[in-house]
């Protein structure tokens, strides 16, 4: 077994662990700080909307020796609008200009052909109207709202309303951070971005449900014992699924990182940037929220339940009594055998009974004779 597998087995058995739930105020503070930074970035810089949402034209040129700065200067001078230029993997250029119509695009195409020294017929021009982008945005918002409502209903039925509320908070946390990163980085918001945002909701929810399933198993018969409080049980369950959550997230992040850093950065593929950045940030935020936000929040909500309050009082009272006697409250004498003494005594007693049954009495032998 590998070291990671051995560590996962020890975490699952509760032999080792980290107090995630006990230090939840630290995680809450970090999450609030990150969320505020994302909101400020969104408010100050705003989102760079693509032409799919604002309308405009995209010009794609063949291989050219012109630089990005040169093409940007030519496009802005010819159109009178801001232009966004990207270098493509085939050494061509992708020039995006918002707010122009068909008549204007023809003159821009002629000017680009002249200044960049490429044939006009080799420059591909795609025009997009703003109404199409509005339809996409409205459908995306509708899909997001319907998805969250269904998630809350499902989790409330499969688990309980506290877990449904915690999962909803985690999803909002992930979306806010992803959108804030988009604003800070300055990447364009395209239909690919919308697809990426909707996709990360499923990944984020998957990690959360895995942890919640462990909580559901751990809370069975919890009020009938006096060894663990709900928060301690939740932390134990979280540690038990920690390695699985990390492995799942890393495996999902590796191909997305390849799309982002190799496909988008090296090859210069514009659409890959839009999808891969939202996926990369969303997957990382989803793994973080399922461990540091969702589970501690469930523990906070659950500890307010009268039964869990009573359980916590009993556990603390038992530990105080055990500490006064110099004993361990987690391993009381009357619940577990000491050094196998009781097992030996039970075995000896059982052996004596068996021995008596195997040997017939003398009176019976006399009667048979």
Q: What is the pLDDT along the chain (369 residues), one digit of tens a residue?
A: 556 555 556 655 556 678 888 889 999 999 999 999 999 988 888 887 777 777 788 888 888 888 888 888 888 888 888 887 877 766 788 888 877 766 787 888 888 888 888 888 888 888 776 666 677 778 878 888 888 888 889 889 988 899 999 999 998 998 899 888 888 887 778 777 888 888 888 777 887 888 888 888 888 888 888 888 999 998 888 888 887 778 888 888 888 887 777 765 555 555 667 778 888 888 888 888 888 999 999 999 999 989 889 989 998 888 888 888 876 555 444 344 334 433 433 433 334 334 444 444 444 444 443
Nearest to 62 by CA among 109, 127, 107, 118: 118
User: Please, are residues 256 and 276 in contact by the beta-carbon 8 Å criterion?
Assistant: yes
Specify the pLDDT at position 49.
79
* DSSP type of residue 189: E
Q: What's the confidence (pLDDT) of residue 166?
A: 92
The number of beta carbons lying within 10 Å of the beta carbon of residue 83 is 20
pLDDT, position 340: 40
pTM: predicted TM-score of the whole model, two decimal places: 0.71
C-beta of residue 195 within 8 angstroms of C-beta of residue 275: yes
In this predicted structure, what is the pLDDT of residue 272? 67
Please name the residue that has the structure tokens 């799942």: 248
Q: How many CB atoms lie within 10 A of CB 230?
A: 26
Is there a contact between 7 and 279 (Cβ–Cβ < 8 Å)?
Answer: no
What does the block give as tokens for 253?
């992040």
Residue 355's pLDDT is 42
Q: Domain 56-128 is in which class?
A: alpha beta
Domain residue limits, the chain: 3-49+132-310, 56-128
| CATH number for domain 3-49+132-310, candidates 3.40.50.300, 1.20.1640.10, 3.40.50.620, 3.30.9.10 | 1.20.1640.10
d(CA 327, CA 334): 12
Residues 6+ apart with CB under 8 A from 91: 63, 64
């Amino acid at each position: 077994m590998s070291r990671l597998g051995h560590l996962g087995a020890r975490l699952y058995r509760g032999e080792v662990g980290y107090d995630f739930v006990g230090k939840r105020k630290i995680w809450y503070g970090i999450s609030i700080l990150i969320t505020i930074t994302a909101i400020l970035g969104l408010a100050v810089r705003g989102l760079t909307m693509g032409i799919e949402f604002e309308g405009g034209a995209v010009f794609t040129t063949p291989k050219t020796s012109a630089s990005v700065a040169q093409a940007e200067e030519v496009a802005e001078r010819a159109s009178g609008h801001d232009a966004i230029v990207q270098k493509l993997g085939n050494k061509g250029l992708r020039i995006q200009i918002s707010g122009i119509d068909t008549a204007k695009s023809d003159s821009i195409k002629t000017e680009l052909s002249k200044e960049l020294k490429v044939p006009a017929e080799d420059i591909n021009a795609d025009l997009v109207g703003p109404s199409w982008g509005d339809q996409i945005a409205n459908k995306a918002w509708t899909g997001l709202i319907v998805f969250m409502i269904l998630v809350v209903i499902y989790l409330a039925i499969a688990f309980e309303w506290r877990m449904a509320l915690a999962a909803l908070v985690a999803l909002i946390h992930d979306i806010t951070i992803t959108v804030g990163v988009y604003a800070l980085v300055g990447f364009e918001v395209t239909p690919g971005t919308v697809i990426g945002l909707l996709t990360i909701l499923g990944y984020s929810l998957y990690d959360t449900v895995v942890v919640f399933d462990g909580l559901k198993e751990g809370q069975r018969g919890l009020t009938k014992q006096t060894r663990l409080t709900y928060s301690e049980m939740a932390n134990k369950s979280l540690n038990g699924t920690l390695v699985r959550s990390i492995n799942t997230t890393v495996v999902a992040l590796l191909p997305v990182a390849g799309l982002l850093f190799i496909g988008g950065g090296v090859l210069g593929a514009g659409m890959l940037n839009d999808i891969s950045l939202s996926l990369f940030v969303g997957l990382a935020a989803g793994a973080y929220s399922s461990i540091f936000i969702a589970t501690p929040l469930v523990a906070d909500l659950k500890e307010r339940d009268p039964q869990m309050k009573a359980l916590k009082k009993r556990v603390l009272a038992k530990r105080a009594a055990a500490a006064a006697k110099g004993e361990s409250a987690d391993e009381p004498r009357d619940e577990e055998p000491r050094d196998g003494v009781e097992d030996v005594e039970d075995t000896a007693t059982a052996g004596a009974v068996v021995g008596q049954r195997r040997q017939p009495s003398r009176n019976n032998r006399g009667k048979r004779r």
